[in-house]
Structure 1
Amino acid sequence: MNRRIALRHLALISGGLVLIPSCDFSSDDILAAYQNLIITDSQKTLLGSISDTIIPAGEIKGALNLEVPDFILVMVNDCFTTENQEKFTAGLTAFPDYVQKTAAKKFKGLSTKEKEELILTGTKLEGDDTPEGKERASISYFLNSTKRLTIQGYMASEYIQTEVIPYSLIPGEYNGAVLISDLQKPRING
């Protein structure tokens, strides 16, 4: 091998090694599936943790098992107004700081009981015209919307509609051979 070529390759390799520490390979990429939302992968993971706290897995599947965070983001992307999408995104962005200020830990480091209490107090936050008040209002809006959409997505899932609470298109089948005297009166007062 030619000595000049070897020196040139050595210079290129050492120059490349000098530039590697300045490169940031840990950046969160914005998910491209949602046209109207600017959501990163870590924010989607946080949304999954919140929805899993609202409906955890037990004897039946939980919200995270049924991919409810995807349902939430699709609903916000497709059905919310631009103003509400901005409030939702602002609340999602401000939520980790709210958790850090309130609990002095990250959300995933909290116990289940602490997560539940934090979400419950977050839904009751009230805002005002100050920047901190607007942030509290957006966190409250985000948590209330997430709670509502988690329940909606969970109850409308195929798993719940087919295996847990079998959906019947017709309220009951018709049996014309039953005598009226054999029918029992429905107990409407308990």
Structure 2
Amino acid sequence: MNRRHALRHIALISGGLALIPSCDFSQEDILAAYDNLKITSSQKALLGAISDTIIPAGEIKGALDLEVHDFILVMVNDCFTSENQEKFSAGLNAFPDFVQEQSGKKFDALSTKEREQLILNAAKLEGDETEAGKRNGNISYFVNSAKRFTIQGYMASEYIQTEVVPYSLIPGEYNGAVLISDLQKPRVNG
């Protein structure tokens, strides 16, 4: 009886080994967290670099440090219509080619000033009914959406709301004798 199990396991293992050469491991895996979008890890990294260019780190944390690119993808995945999701994805797919055409380099290899200029140029693109016009319109839609959600996600992050600009749901007590110059941090009241 043990010999039968051993032969069965050997047959399964050899069959599996025979299938391995036919498997294609060259494609990037699509991230499962964003089921409506077909986003790969390299596209997510590109989106992180774009958001970091929009709000870079300095004295305070930047957009990449706060993982705003995850917020962007969640907002697009959950809140956009399927038509807008397709435009966003098409723009994200076309953006690396646009960068290559404009600068001759990949986005990661560019300096900060070159990245900023490329994002500004991409945001100003106008589309029309031609194939190139649709591509330009998708790129512009992608960059403008990414910019809007980068700012929204950054300003709504826990780090900004607790450490940089402390949020107070209820305004503090009124003290008319305090000079404005004596105030430490601004309070944002809801």
TM-score between both structures, scaled by the size of structure 1? 0.81
- Residue type at the aligned position of 1:129: E
- Residue type at the aligned position of 1:120: L
Change in CA separation of 1:64 and 1:183 when aligned onto 2, cut-off 3 Å: closer
Counting aligned pairs with the same residue, the percent is 73
Q: Does 1:55 align with 2:68?
A: no
- What's the counterpart of residue 130 of structure 2? 130
- What's the counterpart of residue 73 of structure 1? 73
How far apart in 2 are the matches of 1:74 and 1:165?
Answer: 24
Q: CA deviation at 1:23?
A: 5.1
- What's the counterpart of residue 35 of structure 2? 35
How far apart in 1 are the matches of 2:171 and 2:106?
Answer: 47
Kindly provide the CA deviation profile for residues 112-139 of structure 1, in whole angstroms up to 9, marking residues without a partner as x. Answer: 1000000001000001000100000000
- Residue type at the aligned position of 2:159: Y
How far apart in 1 are the matches of 2:23 and 2:85?
Answer: 32
- Residue type at the aligned position of 2:35: Q
- What's the counterpart of residue 103 of structure 2? 103
Classify the secondary structure of the residue corresponding to 1:56: coil
Larger Cα-atom Rg: 1
- Residue type at the aligned position of 1:141: Y
**RMSD of aligned alpha carbons:** 2.5
- What's the counterpart of residue 46 of structure 2? 46
- What's the counterpart of residue 146 of structure 1? 146
Q: CA deviation at 1:35?
A: 1.6
Aligned residues: 169
How far apart in 2 are the matches of 1:79 and 1:62?
Answer: 24
Q: CA deviation at 1:96?
A: 0.4
Classify the secondary structure of the residue corresponding to 2:153: helix
Structure 2, unmatched stretches of 5+, are 1-13, 180-190
- Residue type at the aligned position of 1:153: G
- What's the counterpart of residue 163 of structure 2? 163
- Residue type at the aligned position of 1:157: S
How far apart in 1 are the matches of 2:90 and 2:27?
Answer: 19
How far apart in 2 are the matches of 1:173 and 1:93?
Answer: 52
How far apart in 2 are the matches of 1:165 and 1:60?
Answer: 11
How far apart in 2 are the matches of 1:103 and 1:119?
Answer: 12
